[in-house]
């Protein structure tokens, strides 16, 4: 017999559906993602720490779950909200169903929700706290949502960052589907030799960032978010990479202070939360978006070339362009709302983007930034010599 589940929003709106995955009660900020595929990558993206994710695509789970598509060691979402669950996945790479995967990791799922109505509600009123439960009444679920912690002021980076430093040595070769008609069993593109060493500060990174850095000729040492500038500089890296991550960038003062020391000394590339933390290190500010940008179809304009890219995004905060000092140039904007999507320092070798050039899931329009980072380091070395 199916178990009823409730999604309750802090403003009193409730949706009733069917439970899958784990049972119980959980809370978090609810947001929506417009990607048509890549639900496993979404579930395992550490940037979703503390959030309940609703997928706008109507059927989820149709190709199952496998170990190779994880973007971190496990799920980070608080709960998963979908229109319809595919209970019998069909894909040669599938190792288990979405429901069994969420149950194994104690993550609540709710299906049968009118995700179109939910998305319109959130677009109109903005992101809000929510509760997903299989055991509370609607009234109690609404009260639980209202009493849960807000996203503003939260530091989830401490929960998702690596505990120890490590050198990335996992499989990073580009893989394509083998052509069985000509006898291929696997197709890999060989990795280039290591040319540069970079330190990646882990605010909640996705594995594909490390893969793409390796594909661009980098050896990557990943360090915890609270690593001091002195410790990083002692490693004598060629560059600094700032990853994505969850929570409110304004709440991370202990990181702002260290980055302020690092940006004058190392060529730097930042992604998503890394972009926002750079803004704070520059002396700028960030603000909370009404409902965030989450999905693989966000249009971004390069203000220098006029080129439009379709990008993968996952963020609920943005940089305030009016707060940036004169030596910072806004290089990219979001064409839906004109928010900042990229910056560069006018004199120092530093650039950053708000979106995800590593995608996973999403388009590859912005993948060039990893080779751009290598070129930035090379140019910086030549200039120093």
Residues tagged active-site = 272, 356, 358
**Other CB atoms within 10 Å distance of the CB of residue 236:** 9
Cis peptide bond N-terminal to 361, omega within 30: yes
Please report how many Cα atoms fall inside a 13 Å half-sphere around the Cα of residue 142, on the Cβ side: 9
For 316, the token pair is 């609920």
Q: Cβ(250)–Cβ(286) under 8 Å?
A: yes
What span, in angstroms and rounded, lies between the C-alpha atoms of 241 and 239?
7
**Secondary structure E strands in 225-327:** 239-242, 268-271, 286-302, 308-319
DSSP states along 322-340: GGS-TTEEEEEEETTT--E
As a whole number of Å, the CA-based R_g of the chain is: 21
Burial class (CB in 10 A: 0-12, 13-18, 19+), 315: buried
Q: How many CA atoms lie within 13 A of 146 on its CB side?
A: 11
Would you list the DSSP string of 153-215? T---HHHHS-SS-EE--S---EEE---GGGT-S-EEEPPPPP-EEEEEEESS--HHHHHHHHH
CA-to-CA separations, 37 to 45, 54, 147, 250, 308, in angstroms, rounded: 14, 13, 33, 31, 22
């Amino acid at each position: 017999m199916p178990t009823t589940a409730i999604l309750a929003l802090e403003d009193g709106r409730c949706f009733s559906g069917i439970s899958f995955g784990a049972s119980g009660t959980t809370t978090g900020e609810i947001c929506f993602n417009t990607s048509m595929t890549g639900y496993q990558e979404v579930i395992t993206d550490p940037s979703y720490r503390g959030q309940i994710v609703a997928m706008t695509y109507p059927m989820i789970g149709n190709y199952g779950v496998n170990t190779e598509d994880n973007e971190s060691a496990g799920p980070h979402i608080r709960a998963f909200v979908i229109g319809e669950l595919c209970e019998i996945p069909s894909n040669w790479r599938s190792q288990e169903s979405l429901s069994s995967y969420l149950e194994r990791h104690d993550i609540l799922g709710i299906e049968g929700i009118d995700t179109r109505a939910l998305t319109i509600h959130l677009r109109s009123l903005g992101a809000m706290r929510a509760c997903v439960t299989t055991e509370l009444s609607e009234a109690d679920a609404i009260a639980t949502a209202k009493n849960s912690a807000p996203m503003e002021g939260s530091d989830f980076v401490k929960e998702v960052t690596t505990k120890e430093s490590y050198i990335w040595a996992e499989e990073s070769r580009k893989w394509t589907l083998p052509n069985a008609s000509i006898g291929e069993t696997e197709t890999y593109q060989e990795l280039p030799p290591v040319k540069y060493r970079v330190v990646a500060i882990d605010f909640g990174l996705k594995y594909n960032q490390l893969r793409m850095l390796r594909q661009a000729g980098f050896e990557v040492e990943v360090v915890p978010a609270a690593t001091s500038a002195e410790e990083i500089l002692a490693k004598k890296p060629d560059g600094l990479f700032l990853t994505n991550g969850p929570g409110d960038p304004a709440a991370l003062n202990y990181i702002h202070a260290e980055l302020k020391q690092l940006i004058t000394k190392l060529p730097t590339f930042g992604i998503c939360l890394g972009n926002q933390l750079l803004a704070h290190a520059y002396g700028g500010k960030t603000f909370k978006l009404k409902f965030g940008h989450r999905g693989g179809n966000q249009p971004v304009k390069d203000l220098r070339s006029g080129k439009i890219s379709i990008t993968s995004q996952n963020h609920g905060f943005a940089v305030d362009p009016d707060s940036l000092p004169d030596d910072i140039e806004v290089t990219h904007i979001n064409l839906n709302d004109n928010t900042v999507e990229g910056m560069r320092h006018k004199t120092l070798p530093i650039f950053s983007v708000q979106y995800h050039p590593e995608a996973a899931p999403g388009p590859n329009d912005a993948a060039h930034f990893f080779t751009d980072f290598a070129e930035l380091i090379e140019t910086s070395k030549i200039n120093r010599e």
